[in-house]
Every structure is written in C-alpha cells, then in structure tokens.
Structure 1
Amino acid sequence: MSERNDDDPVQTSTEQMKEIIAEEVGKAIESSLSGFIDKIQSTVLSVVEEQVKRLEDSVNLIKERSGERKGCSYKEFMAFKPPIYNGEVDSIICQRWLSDIEGVFERTHCEVGDFVAYGTGQLRGQAKDWWDNKKKETGAEAARVMTWDEFKVSFLKHHNPKAIMIRIKEEFIQLRQKGESIDKITGIFMDKLRFCDELVTTEEQKIYYYYNMLSAEYWEFMTPSKYETLTEIINTAREREIELKKQVARGERRAQDVNPSPTKKARTAELGKKVEAKGGSPSCKVCEKGHKGECRFKDKPCPVCGKTGHTASLCPGKVSVCYKHYQPGHKKSECPELVGKRDTKESPTEAPKAKARSFQLTAAEAKIEPDVVSGSTMKNTR
C-alpha cells in the first residue's frame, strides 16, 4: 500500500473539493428541510382546524336537535339579514317587520333576553329616533331589562295607533273587488285579515268574507258552503279567473266584463240612474237594476241562503256587522249598547224664558222719569 503524500498538490485539491461539496450539500439539505418542515406544519394545522370546526358543527347540531343549544351571537344574528324598519306609521308594514324579526329570532335560537337589544338594532330613521327618546323616558336600566312583549306594546302604540286599526277593520268589512286580479285582491284581503282576529274567528267566517268580497263574475258560480278552508275558495277563484280569460280569448266574453275597472263600473251605474230618471226600465225587485224582460237572477238560488227571488247582496239572511264591536249579528245603528245610551240620554234643560212686562205712563209721569225718551205710552221689557 502506498503512503499518502501530503505534498501531492493533486490529492490536496481533491480533498478540498470534497469538503466544499459536502458543505454545500449540507446547506442545501438544511434549507430544503426547513421549508419542508414549515410546509408540513402548515398542512397539519390546516387539517386540525378543519377537523375542530367540523367537530364544533357536529356538537352544535346535536345540541340543536336535542334542544340544548341556546343563544346566538350578534354576528350570527346579523348573518341571517334581519329586516330593517324605518318608522312608517303603517299597520301592515310594522306588523310585517315584527313578524319577520321574530322569525329571525327563532331561526338563530336567539336568547329571549337579547330580543330587544338585537331587534332595536334594526331600527332606522324615525323609528330609531322614537326608540332613543323611549330609552330616555324609561331610563337606561329599564330599557336594558325590557322584555320583547313590553317593547311590542310601546312599539305598536306609537306606530300602529287605534284609529288606524279601526279604519283597517272598516275597510276589511267593506272590501269589494273592483277591477283587481284575484291575486291582487287576495293580497289586500290577507293583509287586512291579520288585524281582524276578534271579528273573524273561524275558517267559515274567513270564507264568507272572501266570497262576499268577490265580484259577480266569480261569486255567482261559487257556493261558500262547499269549501272547508280559505285556501280552497281562493284556488277556485283563481281557476275561475283563468276560465274567464279563456272565454275572452275565444270571443265568448268581452274583455271589459272580466274584472271591469272601477271607472267603468261607476260610469255604468251612473248611466243606469240617468236612464231610469228619463223614464227608462224600472228597477227590478230581484236585483234592483233597471232592465227589460225577466230577470236572469229570478230562478237562480242565492249563494248565501240557497233560496231564489233575490241576489246575495239583497239576501235577508246576510250577516250584518256592528262597527262598534266588529261583531256579526246586528248593525251599529241597532247596537244594544248605543241604543240604550240614546234612550237614557237626557236632553239639556232649557233656561226658562223671562216673562215680558209692560208699563204704562202718563205724559206727566214720563216727564218726571229721566230714562224715558218721549211719548205718552212707553213699554219696557225686561
């Protein structure tokens, strides 16, 4: 074996190259390993976070199904995009806002104690001004512990006054289809119905009021006693509207006969009055309209009572509604409470009239009295 020669320049250069290469390889491995480790750590953390989130969602779902989960954060509440109320003094708008915001409370499992805090956060404009003033009136602490029911009482008292409620009930009772489509008049009917709970208490009454609202083109082909729910009679009215439009398309009916406009109806009624005034056809006893020949409603059964000889609007069995209590059975003019008050009410007593007295003076006496102007006979009335 040959001994190593330290003086050999070739061998020395080779050794140095090996050392340099080993050092560079080590640096490269160290650098790659560091980035590799960082990448592994990032991946592991991402997987762990995802698994934790899935676990939390599973736990929340289990609690939700078992009814154990309670409350929600304001961020979760706002994620459901709760409605905003700007303070319109409109019964339908403010009632709809209350209904929608309570729906968000339910879906987010919001704590009852957070209802007022979360709900009032959706007030804007005049509504927010009202709430800010209400907090000053009641005090900050009282406003903080206020329940949702207490809030609704104050809220409705301001934004849904009693006078508006009475007007809506009257509009509901007098509501009639005048040119509107079935979907539009049904929407108006449903909006007003929600304010008439004490007036309309049964499904049968809902059906009656809906039927009574429809125009003749609909109710003369419908019998309210056939339907058990309001949905059934609404769907029947929609089907009838489709059939009427088909008749127009086939040329069997004029377009203006289907949902005629209010202007046309008023004009037709006015024209009928003018014709009658000029000596035209007398008013029919069955339908109270002026026409010649036999009335087409003569042998048709009344949709309300089933008897012939009159229309539904003139039916003696038609339910009257008292505008005082909004209850069927009598008119306001026949309300026992109001009639009793009129009978017991006393007319104001009139002050007794003073009796006239006359005084007759002679010419000599008249000259003595300073208050007498002149004349031989004077009258003084007290």
Structure 2
Amino acid sequence: MSDGNDDNPVRTSTEQMEEIIAEEVGKAIEGSLSGFIDKIQSTVLSLVEERVKRLEDSVNLMKDKTGERKGCSYKEFMACNPPIYNGEVDPIICQRWLSDVEGVFERTYCDVGDFVAYGTGQLRNQAKDWWDNKKKEMGAEAARVMTWEEFKVPFLKHHSPKAVINRIKEEFIQLRQKGESIDKITGIFMDKLRFCDELVTTEEQKIYYYYNMLSTEYREFMTPSKYETLTEIINVAREREIELKKQVERGERRAQDVNPSPIKKARTGESGKKVDAKGGSPSCKVCGKGHKGECRFKDKPCPVCGKTGHTASLCPGKVSVCYKCYQPGHKKSECPDFVGKRDTKESPIETPKAKARSFQLTTAEAKTEPDVVSGDVGTNRKMIELAFEEPNMIYKLPQCFKL
C-alpha cells in the first residue's frame, strides 16, 4: 500500500531524466532555429527571383513579337563597341561601317528612332565635319526627326560616290593575282564583288571571274566547270597553295615561282630601264654602248690622251673648241668676242656657213695628190666618222680631203 508520498527513487530519476532531455532539446531547437529560418528565406527568395526573371523574359518576348518594346539606352549601345568611321571616301570602308553599325542596332534591340542619334555618335574627323555641316543645312529639328534610311542617302552619296564605284568595277574585271596569298587575294576579290551585282549575277560567273583572277600555277590544275559554288573553288585554291609550298620545301619548285613578290617585280622593272634597247644588254662602262661580252675598246689607247680604259667620247681630258674664235679652252657661249658684243647690245654677226664643195678625181690624179688618203676604205671611213662625231675635240688626223 502506498501512503501517498512519492518516495520511489526509480520514478524520481526517470522524471528528472525526461526533464533534462526536454530542456536540452529545447535549447538545441532554439539555437538552430535562426539559421534554419535564414536558409529557408534565401531558398524562397532565389525561387522568387528566378520566377520573376522568367516572367520578364516572357513579357519581353511578347513585346518583341508585337513591336511594343522600347529599345536600349545609349550605354547599352556603347557596351557592344560599335565601330567608328573617320570619313574615308571609300565605298568598301563606308558600306562596311554601315553594316557593322546596323548589326549593333539589331543586337541591342535599339529603337528605330534612336538609330540616327546613336549612329552619328560614332562619326569622327572628316565624317563628323560632314555631319555637322549637313545638320546646319537641314536644321536641328529636321535632323532630329530624320530616319536612318533618310540619313544613308546623303551619307552614301558623299562617302561612296558612283565614280569610285565604277573604278572598283573596272578593278574587279582587271584583278589578277600578283604575289598575294590566296586568303589576301580572295579578300580583295570579295570586297570588290559587293559592288558588281549588275555585272556578276550568277554563281557560275563568280567562279569564272575568280578562276580568271588566279595566277598560272593555280589555274593549270583547276577546271572552273567542275565547281558549283564559289566556296568550292576557293577551298581548292587554298589546297593548291599548300601543295606548292610543300614542293618548295622539297626543292621541286623555286620559291619565286610561288606567289612572287610584287616588290621584286617592280624592282626588276626599274633595273630593266638601265638595259640598252639594242639586244637588251646593259651599257658598257668603257665605250658607253650596249653590247655583250668583252669590250673591244678595252685595251685600245684613247686618241686624245693615249690612255686605255675609255674611248675618245668619254675621255676626261678632252678639250673644247670655241666655234666663234676657234680657240681651245672655252665654248662659244663663253667666248670673249661673243660676250663683248652681247654686252654692248650689238647685233651679233653670224659667220656665214661654208658651202659644201665636192671634188671628183680620177685614179691618176688621186695618186699624184699629196692630200688624198689611200688605203683600207673601212679604216678611212672610221677616221672620218670619228671626226664628225666629236666636233669639239682636237684630233691629230691626216688630211682626208682638200678644201
């Protein structure tokens, strides 16, 4: 029988143990509750943000389809690094700039009304000067409401004139590979092709012009009718270029045969100017004439100074004779008699020209005349020619004929 007092030691210890466990559990829950709440909060926020972003993307997509979206800011436009135009009067550079800027408009969802304001902000130097003058002509209000298509009309007229485009078309027709690599000449070809839409209308014509532009070492291994697209013949030309370089490395072909340098060709042309027209031989330093082999005047003495190594026409010791007073040492323009008369403003008296005279001799008369030279005809003729070629020289020659 129990007397109502709870003096059982086992029960007392169990109750105490439960109280202690409950207290410890409460402390543990209380300590981790704040961290648990923060974790739940961050998870919920991230889910909410993701959901909001999806909703915004859906809304923007719907606006793009309906055309209700309002473009981008200038900061967003500049973040795409739009190209700068300096005002080159070059259709290739000009139209490439327009294409690049319009690509930035598209990527940034730029509003159509901001095209002119954003695009003209990339003009520099001569291009900016042109736009400033154009705005003055139009007026500020007209420039503000101008559309991009309206802007391109005067812009292209000034920076891409028809005369320059016609010149590009002529260059396209006459384009030939002269030492350029395949990639470089292909780039030039494609740049000029953009302005030849009226001239080149089919893929077959593109292939023909590209094939005709290549140098011989490429064309001799290619048949244009085999290719259906321009890309195919370009790739074949690149493969041929690699093969030609391998042939050079193996010693099967000279390096100058593969894409010879245009600079070397130009230098060859300049050096060719020094070549004499007769036979294509360079001018001799001894006689001054163009010939091949050893100069026949090399070891012959000069008739003026008696030294070898030059002819009479190139002799440094030759003496000039005045045609006025017939004295050596000066020219007619330096003659004292001529200068004195010119200073006194007297009309110079010209020396009458001697009339030509000829003599006809018989064989018997020629033998008895002491002034007649006889002998080899070729030798006497050479002496006469030498006398007439160098009228300013003094030669000790025998008398050739009697005056």
TM normalised by structure 1 equals: 0.56
3-state SS, counterpart of residue 131 of structure 1 = helix
Residue 168, structure 1, aligned to residue 151, structure 2? no
Q: Is the 8 A contact 1:70 1:110 kept in 2?
A: no
Q: Point out where structure 1 has 5 or more consecutive residues left out of the alignment.
A: 1-28, 281-382
1:72 aligns with 2:71: yes
Distance 1:239 1:67 in 2: 49
Aligned to 1:92: 92
- Give per-residue Cα distances to partners, 1:48-98, cap 9 Å, x unaligned: 55653443134324555x565644212433332222212222222111100
Quote how far apart the aligned CAs of 1:220 are: 1.3
The one-letter amino acid of 2:86's match is: N
Following superposition, the deviation at residue 112 of structure 1 comes to: 2.8
The one-letter amino acid of 1:136's match is K
**Corresponding residue for residue 318 of structure 1:** none
Name structure 2 gaps, 5 residues minimum. 1-29, 282-403
The residue type paired with residue 72 of structure 2 is S
- 196-205 vs 231-240, which deviates more? 196-205
Deviates more, 1:130-139 or 1:115-124: 115-124
CA apart distance, 1:41: 8.9
Alignment deviations for residues 285-320 of structure 1 (CA, whole Å, 9 cap, x no partner): xxxxxxxxxxxxxxxxxxxxxxxxxxxxxxxxxxxx
Q: CA deviation at 1:232?
A: 0.7
Distance 1:41 1:223, change over 3 A: closer
Give the TM-score normalised by the residue count of structure 2: 0.53
User: Separation in 2 of the partners of 1:243 and 1:39?
Assistant: 66
- 2: CA distance between counterparts of 1:267 and 1:84? 38
CA contact (8 A) 2:72 2:111 kept: no
Deviation at 1:278, TM superposition (A): 2.8
Give the alignment of 1:294-305 within 5 angstroms: none
Secondary structure of 2:195's counterpart equals coil
**CA shift at 1:145, angstroms?**
2.2
Deviation at 1:156?
Answer: 1.0
Instruction: Point out the structure with max Rg over C-alpha.
Output: 2
Distance 1:101 1:161 in 2: 20
* Aligned AA (2:175): L
Paired residue type of 1:231: T
Give the superposition deviation at 1:252. Answer: 1.0
* Residues 232-251 of structure 1 aligned to structure 2 (within 5 Å): 232-251=232-251
Shifted more, 238-247 versus 130-139: the winner is: 130-139
CA distance in structure 2 between the aligned counterparts of 1:247 and 1:117, rounded to whole angstroms: 56
Letter in 1 for 2:148: W
Q: Which structure 2 residues correspond to residues 363-382 of structure 1 after superposition, within 5 A?
A: none
Q: Which string of whole-angstrom CA distances, capped at 9 and with x for unpartnered residues, describes residues 219-260 of structure 1?
A: 111111111111111001001101111111111111111111
1:114 matched to 2:114? The reply is yes
Residues 11-50 of structure 1: pairs in structure 2 closer than 5 A:
none
| Equivalent pair of 1:91/1:160 in contact (CA under 8 Å) | yes
* Cα distance in structure 1, aligned partners of 2:112 and 2:221: 50
1:252 aligns with 2:242: no
Identity %: 82
Aligned-pair CA distance for 1:154: 0.7
Q: CA RMSD in A?
A: 3.4
Letter aligned with residue 115 of structure 2? F
Taking a change above 3 Å as real, the CA distance of residues 258 and 114 of structure 1, as seen in their structure-2 partners, is: same
1:188 paired to 2:208: no
SS in 2 for 1:101: helix
CA distance in 2, matches of 1:234, 1:276: 42
Measure the CA separation in 2 of the matches of 1:196 and 1:166. Answer: 9
Tell me how many residue pairs correspond in the alignment: 248
